[in-house]
Structure formats: C-alpha cells, structure tokens
Structure 1
C-alpha cells in the first residue's frame, strides 16, 4: 500500500486524534503516505437537541463509516466512548490505542470544586450518565444542557451561562487548554465513573486484512483488556448513550482488574452500583458477567425507565 486515508471529523479534538494516529503509524511505516480526509457528521451539525433524542453517539461515526464502505477512506479514528458496541457488516474495531486520562473533569471560573458550588448552582452537561452521577453527588444543583465542541463549551462557561461544566479531562488536556479556565479539576473515578472506553482511541476499519494488519501495531494490550470489559458490560445491558451507564475497568497489577460500574435514572433517583476486583484472565467474560449481576438486580427495567425519560 502506498497511501492510507484516515476519515476524521472536523473538530479540533478529532483532528488532534487523527493526527496522533497518523504520527504513530508513521513511526512504524515511515515511507507510507497518510492523508486525513475531513467530514461533518450529523452529531456535529445538530447542536440544539440532546444526543439521546436524535439517535445517540453513532451520529458521530456514521458518515465516516460510509466513507470507508464506499472506498473513500481506509480507517477512521474515534473517541472509543462514541463507538457503538455493534458494527455495520464489513466494519470492525481493528485497534485501541494506549489510554489517556480517563476521568471526567470539573471546570469553573468561580468555584474550585463540586463541593464548593452553592445550592442551585447551574452545571452544564448533556450526558445522561454525568447528570445521574452529578445528582448523586449534589442533588441540589441545577443541570443545564451543554452541546458543541470543547472550545464552544468553554466559551459558554466563560460567558457566564454556567457556574461549572463537566467535560472529559482528556479532551481538554490534548488541546492543552486547561489554563483557559480558572479552575480545572479531574475527578476521581471513585467520585464519577466514566463512560465505556473514555480516553481511548478506537481505530475502525473495513474487513480488509491488509488494513487491519497494518493498524494492529497500535493496539495497546492494557487498553484492549479494559475496553473489552467495558464494552461487553454495555453490550450485555443493551445500553446505548441514551441511557445512563458508567463503567471503568482498571488493571491493578498483572493478576487483577478492578471494575467500577453504575446505571440509573438521569435524576439519580434510582441507581445500581458495583465495585469489584477480579482475575485479569477472566477479562473476556468479566463485563458480561458483571452486567448479568446488574440485570439480576433489575438493571434492564431501570434502563428502560431511564430511556423513556431521555426521549421525552
């Protein structure tokens, strides 16, 4: 192969991620020409409606997948948290990169932490998972929808539309814009459990064996183990981004892995939470088994209720 085309969204973060993968690939294949081809996705264009009401996070991947299936691109780089657990025929998750900072982050111009926020403070997020976890931590705060790219969201915070906002720490860190906000505080996973795959890049390709083998050099074993557990958990629960699910697998040592998980209602009124440590050799079935524990406690019924609320 002489030239490789990467399909990417046009946002600054998406470009950063695609450039990162390009640079990593060129370390292994210095003579290979690699080109980025930019696309606007439906999720980028519709900014006034919560994702849950317009189809979920697959809205950020569809146009890129079409480009690959039509032969206009060879691979696409996604934030793994945006990648559905099931793929269109002819497509697959070929590699996951080394994980960056998986935590959510608190950003504010006025307050140093969630704990310092006054009663009724306005916090920006559209994520149903973050809404649920924020309400569990601070039931008194007021939640307000927040869409747009990272720079747009921060601009809204600085304009005084919110007392604080919650973003993925990794996005702010990659763009090196932590200093644009007075207070930037990553939150421990003991406080807020992230989305499946958060801070990992997923490389999606067609079933072309040459392309799959080419990108396999970027697959990180630890990220693969953690994301396999997380994605299996969500897949078994049959939960998309339109329902509140947090799950984070963390390799503790060569023998064990910790899995934190939570599902519930967007307002935090009902939830199920588990925190387990298991044998790392069981990682292929661990997510499914943990999900079954949740199902036995009524998780599917709870998520059905949450989904109805999300689509109101």
Structure 2
C-alpha cells in the first residue's frame, strides 16, 4: 500500500498536547525525509468541561472521542494522546498503534510551603483531579483534605498560588516536557504511589484498515516502552479500569537484565480498602495477568466499584 507523503496528526489544543504532537511530528520527519506532517487541533469533552471533577462527567473517552471521530472519517491519519488518557478498550474500528520512548512515569509533588510530601501536616489541603492519586494519598495520610484540580498545566500551577493549597500532585512528565521541571518539589516513589497506566508515554491511535500507517510509525516506536505499556493496559482492561477509578500499574525493567518489575494497585476511593503488590519476572504480559488473577481473587472489582 502506498505510503502517504502528507500525514495529518490530530491533537488537543493544550500546550502539553501540542508539545507531544510536535514531538511525534519531529520524530516522523527525521525518520522519513520528505514526509509532510500537518497538525489538526480540536477540543474534547474533557477540555470543555473543566468545571466539574472527571468522575462526575460519567463518560468514557473524555479526552479522545472527538479525535476518534476525526480518525473514523480520515480527517486525520493519527491521533496523538497522553497514553494515560487512552482507554484500554477502544471503540470499534480504532486501535492503539504504538508509543515512542516513555518519559518519567512518576507523580510530582509541588508546594510553596513544604520541601517534601512527608513534611505536609495533617489537615493540610492537597489538590488533584485524579481519583487514583487521592486514594493513594488517603491510604497513607487519611487526615488530609483534598480539593479538585482541573485545567491545563499552567492553570493548575496558578491555582496552587491563588487558592492557597498546601500542595498539588501532577505528572512529572508534563512538567518536564513544558520545561517547568524546576517547579517540582519532590517526586513520589512509584513503589508506594503507583503511577497511572501509561503515564509518561505518548499514545498513538489509528483507524483499523490503515496498515500503511504501521510502516510510517515503525522507526519511532520504542520496544521497551511498548512492552511496559502493553502489559499495563492488559492489567487495566481486565479489571475494567479507567480514569475515574483508583487503579495504578507501572511496569519497569528490573535491575537484573531481562527481568521486569510490575507494580499494581487498586483501592476504594477513600483509600481504606487497598490491594498493592509488585512482582518480578521475564514476561511483562504474564506478570499483568498473574496480578489481575490474584487481585480478582481478593475482590478487586468490588473494591473498585465502592
């Protein structure tokens, strides 16, 4: 099938989304001299509804549906997402096409009052828009207060100052990519605060039947990243997780060559009921399936539905 010389990338309009899309465009141009890459921007439901917490909207694909509509009509050839926003089960006709090299998957604590999260006193207010982050913090610090935090990266940092929060939690990769890494107060250790599925990775989505896209993408995809995020997405898909549940999965190469460590977490929204385990082995997908089986036996679905 003929390789198109003009490729259209679909993107959200936020600064982070555009950074990621331009990054993909640069990788593609470097891999295919002469390839013309155009960026098409649009708003998603998640961008439009910043006035309410994500779980309250009650819709799947909050940051992806509009981009998928453009894929379905070939208005764009690829959609570029933060992979953690891309559901593990996609609409008919859509497929996860791969990911370039992953950035930091960790969560970052940002504060103008405390030098680390461990210094935050009981009764302090932490702002986050993530159910997972809130539950993980509550599990260890049940006497904290929480505020919802929505909006783009700049807006969230402004709210820290303007609304007087004691701290906020954000994805480290987002701050790195926008050259705001100096705002990070400390990083949360992933063995204790397990990141979201795919966090730190860019997810590329394509329409089924566009096999020519695979040849274009092949040079920019990163094999270790693909192994890790594929396993994480298996874990999420089998547990029927999404952005609105307290679920984390992080697969990372272990110290021993050829080995992987898979960190898994599910909990109730208040953090009281929690399953948290890490396993090491040579097959990331097998680790994901084994952890899901173990978690299901321990009542993971009833915990997530609490």
TM-score over 0.5 for the pair: yes
CA distance in 2, matches of 1:191, 1:85: 23
**Offset of residue 116 of structure 1:** 1.0
Q: How does 1:34-183 map to 2 (within 5 A)?
A: 34-55=37-58, 58-179=61-182, 181=183
Gapped regions of structure 1 (runs ≥ 5) = 306-312
- In structure 2, the residue matched to 1:204 is 205
Does the 8 A contact of 1:178 with 1:184 survive in 2?
no
Does the 8 A contact of 2:109 with 2:117 survive in 1?
yes
SS in 2 for 1:59: coil
Asked if 1:228 is matched to 2:224, the reply is: no
SS in 1 for 2:185: strand
**Offset of residue 56 of structure 1:** 5.2
SS in 1 for 2:149: coil
Q: Deviations over 1:4-38 (max 9, x none)?
A: 00000000000000000000001111201101011
Q: Deviations over 1:80-128 (max 9, x none)?
A: 1111011122211111111101100000111111111122111001211
Asked if 1:250 is matched to 2:252, the reply is: yes
CA distance in 1, matches of 2:190, 2:241: 20
**Offset of residue 57 of structure 1:** 6.0
Does the 8 A contact of 1:56 with 1:240 survive in 2?
no
CA distance in 1, matches of 2:43, 2:14: 9
Does the 8 A contact of 2:262 with 2:284 survive in 1?
no
Root mean square deviation of aligned Cα: 1.3
CA distance in 2, matches of 1:94, 1:54: 27
Q: Which moved more, 1:245-254 or 1:119-128?
A: 245-254
**Offset of residue 258 of structure 1:** 0.4
CA distance in 1, matches of 2:286, 2:113: 45
TM-score between the two structures when normalised by the length of structure 2:
0.95
State the aligned residue count: 301
Does the 8 A contact of 1:94 with 1:216 survive in 2?
no
- In structure 2, the residue matched to 1:302 is 303
Gapped regions of structure 2 (runs ≥ 5) = none
SS in 1 for 2:40: strand
